Amino acid sequence: MVHPKDAPDLHLTGPLSIHQGCCGPLGTGGRNMACPCGALVATLAADCMGPHELHLDPLRVYAYPADTTM
């Protein structure tokens, strides 16, 4: 789980219908965030009734070491 601002290249996809709160997605409808290629990789929960969280799908996202040469 990361803060939504930690993944700026992801974008919200598809209609949220009943999974939309008054201020944002509830995060109850499964993956709703896609990478630039269109693959659904995360679930955003960002309604005003709770914390804003981005849950990365562990089967579609992996970690790699940061570039330390910068």
* 68 pLDDT tier (thresholds 50, 70, 90): low
* DSSP per-residue letters across the chain: -B-GGG-TT-EE-S--GGGB-SSSB-S-SS--EE-TT--EEEEEE--TTS--EEEE-TTT-------TT-
Phi, psi of 6 (to 5 degrees): -80, -5
For the chain, what is the domain count? Answer: 1
In a domain, 67, yes or no: no
Domain extent, residue 20, equals 4-56
The amino acid occupying position 51 is: P
Establish if 68 belongs to a structural domain. no
In-domain check, residue 52 = yes
Q: What is the pTM of this model?
A: 0.80
Within-domain flag for 69: no
Is residue 62 in some structural domain? no
Residue at 13 is within a domain: yes
User: Residue 32: its pLDDT value, please?
Assistant: 92
pLDDT digits (tens, 9 = 90+) for 14-58: 776 778 888 888 888 889 999 999 999 999 999 888 889 999 999
